[in-house]
Amino acid sequence: MVNPEAADIGGAVIIAVILAGICRNRGWSSAIPLILAGIAVGLAPFGPQGPADPEFVLVVILAPLVFGEALTSSIVDLRRVRRPVLVLAVGLVVVGALAVGAVAQWVVPGIWTSMAFALGAILGPTDAVAVSATARKAGLPRRLVNILEGESLVNDGTALTLLRVFSLSAAAGSVTAAQGTLILVTSVLGGLLVGAAGGLLLISVVRRARDTTVANGLILVAPLPLYVGAEALEGSGILAVVLAALIVAHGSSNAVAYTGRLQATGLWMTITFILQSAAFFLVGLEMPRVLDALPSDQIPTLTVAIPVVFVTLVMIRFAFVFLMALVSGQLSENRGWLVAAWAGTRGPISALAAFTVPVATDAGDRIPYRELVISITFGVVIISLLLAPSIAWLARAVHLPKDDDVATERRVHLALARAALNRLEEIEQESERRDAPLPASVLGPLRARAQQRLERASASSKHAAAARHPTGARELAAEMMRSEQEELLRLRDSEGLPDEIVRQMQHEIDVRIRALGT
């Protein structure tokens, strides 16, 4: 017999994917339609219902979703913008939580201090997927995109760690400063240790695995044990997932012979699409249940609290980013800080994290205002998502400069073509020293094709993918292309080549290697 809850979750995912697919084909943002569809299904007398334990969704959906987003990021790029990322992901989250907590106590008379600050922590994370998609569609400068993506990945761990402190305070009645500090330190260290160990273990498997399907399968299931393992050690599960994914992304790009990159890229694009769709739909599915549990006398407070809390978040972010730009001396250079200040979209991680607030105290007494905190979170998330497209409008309005990668790409293409030719010459010389020279029928076509690529790279930043070679030349061609990969990674590490360009060119080389059939 099919488990009813499993059937509900399965039905919800199917509906979400179909609706998201329709939106995607029409070029629409799917977040709001998915939430509205979830609300409609939740109000209907039939159809899927929300899961009994929403925290289960936090693990099963959001842990792999954040892992997949981190896999497309780069340690190299994050290292380049580490200062603004850390200031935003840690400083802004803490300041924002305190500000929202103070405002919540003013707007909601009688709310516990721990619950007010828990609301601030819940609304701390920006949505990694929404911010990344909006930033790239808007054509923002690469540095600004890296900052926003890095912030949205790291601030999850900061915010959920703060939420744990305030949730424990609500359940226990109070938490001392020493206890709160210990919880924070344990959470961060636990998350970092589990994430580092898991990431290094995964990348060692990837580099040694002969079967790429098995390697990618292990990466696919990794987010769940990483999250659960870190949480079991009182660490931050989200922080562990993010760090492990960054290590895997960096390590797999360094693995010159890793033939599973193309398979892994397509796999995670599909998984991210499914999980993101399901997360937004399940948020909408939970909303009728939460509003139904909300006491009627708190509805007037809710209508006031949602806009006040949202405006507080916007004002705090603008003030914080303005001060960052002022202190760093970048205020007068460009208006990118305006876009960064407005790009604070909240998403499903906040909505689902709200359900982790305890229902009752350790003594068994029901914690008041829990449903109100969840309802305020839902309202702020919806307003934030509705305004997310305006990030692109603002970026166009302030005329941010575009990245010009033509010269860089041409230079890298030239370096890779030369690396391939040099490797061919080395192999030719080695074969001659062994008195086993390679036939001209093998060397000639390979040298001609590499020379053509070199000439095309000299005139343009684009080059065609290599055609299928004769059987006797495939191993040599693959060896030449691996030399290109090594040269590409050398340029990245020695010259700080942007990871976006590295991924693009590495993908081209992987495609050409796969076309050889080796």
Task: Identify the pLDDT of residue 185.
Answer: 85
Residue 276 lies in a domain: yes
Q: CATH number of the domain that 187 lies in? A: 1.20.1530.20
Q: Which amino acid is at 411?
A: R
User: Could you give the CA distance from residue 206 to residue 204 in angstroms, rounded to a whole number?
Assistant: 5
Most confidently predicted of 22-31, 181-190, 312-321: 312-321
Single pTM value for the model: 0.76
What φ, ψ does residue 389 adopt, rounded to 5°? -60, -20
Classify residue 402: in a domain, yes or no.
Answer: no
Say how far apart CA 489 and CA 207 lie, in whole Å: 16
Same domain flag for 464 and 391: no
pLDDT digits (tens, 9 = 90+) for 210-245: 777 777 788 888 999 999 999 888 888 888 998 898
SS3 sequence, 158-211?
Answer: HHHHHHHHHHHHHHHCCCCHHHHHHHHHHHHHHHHHHHHHHHHHHHHHHHHCCC
Q: Are residues 438 and 462 in the same domain?
A: yes
Local confidence band at 187 (pLDDT 50, 70, 90 cut-offs): confident
Query: What integer best gives the mean pLDDT of the chain?
Result: 80
| Domain that includes residue 345, residue range | 4-397
The verdict on residue 284 lying in a domain is yes
Measured distance CA(116)–CA(121) in Å, rounded: 9
In this prediction, residue 53 has a pLDDT band, given cuts at 50, 70 and 90, of low
User: Are 106 and 22 in a shared domain?
Assistant: yes
Do 327 and 466 sit in the same domain of this protein?
A: no
User: Do both 386 and 430 map to the same domain?
Assistant: no
Is residue 374 within 8 Å of 355, Cβ to Cβ? yes
pLDDT tens digits, one per residue of 469-511:
444 566 677 777 777 777 777 777 666 677 667 777 777 777 7
163: CB partners within 8 A, 6+ apart: 118, 121, 122, 124, 353, 356, 357
Do 374 and 453 have their domain in common?
Answer: no
- In the structure, what pLDDT confidence band is assigned to residue 137 with cuts at 50, 70 and 90? low
Q: pLDDT digits over 334-388, tens only?
A: 678 888 899 888 988 888 888 888 888 877 788 888 889 999 999 999 999 888 8
Domain final position from 376, 397, 418:
397
Residue 271: pLDDT above 80? yes
pLDDT of residue 36 exceeding 80: yes
**Which domain-ending residue is among 397, 424, 454?**
397
384 and 430 both lie in a single domain:
no
Band the pLDDT of 30: cuts 50, 70, 90: confident
Our count of domains for the chain comes to: 2
Regarding whether 427 and 367 lie in a shared domain, the answer is no
Q: Are residues 353 and 385 in the same domain?
A: yes
* Residue bearing the bigger pLDDT, 261 or 247: 247
Give the angle 319-320-323 at the CA atoms, nearest 5°: 85
pLDDT value at residue 334:
67
Query: Last residue of some domain: 359, 379, 397?
Result: 397
With respect to residue 73, please indicate whether it lies within any of the assigned structural domains.
yes
Please indicate, yes or no, if residue 156 is contained in any of the structural domains: yes
* Residue 164 shares a structural domain with residue 313: yes
413 and 271 fall within a common domain: no
Examine the domain organization and report whether 352 and 483 are in the same domain.
no
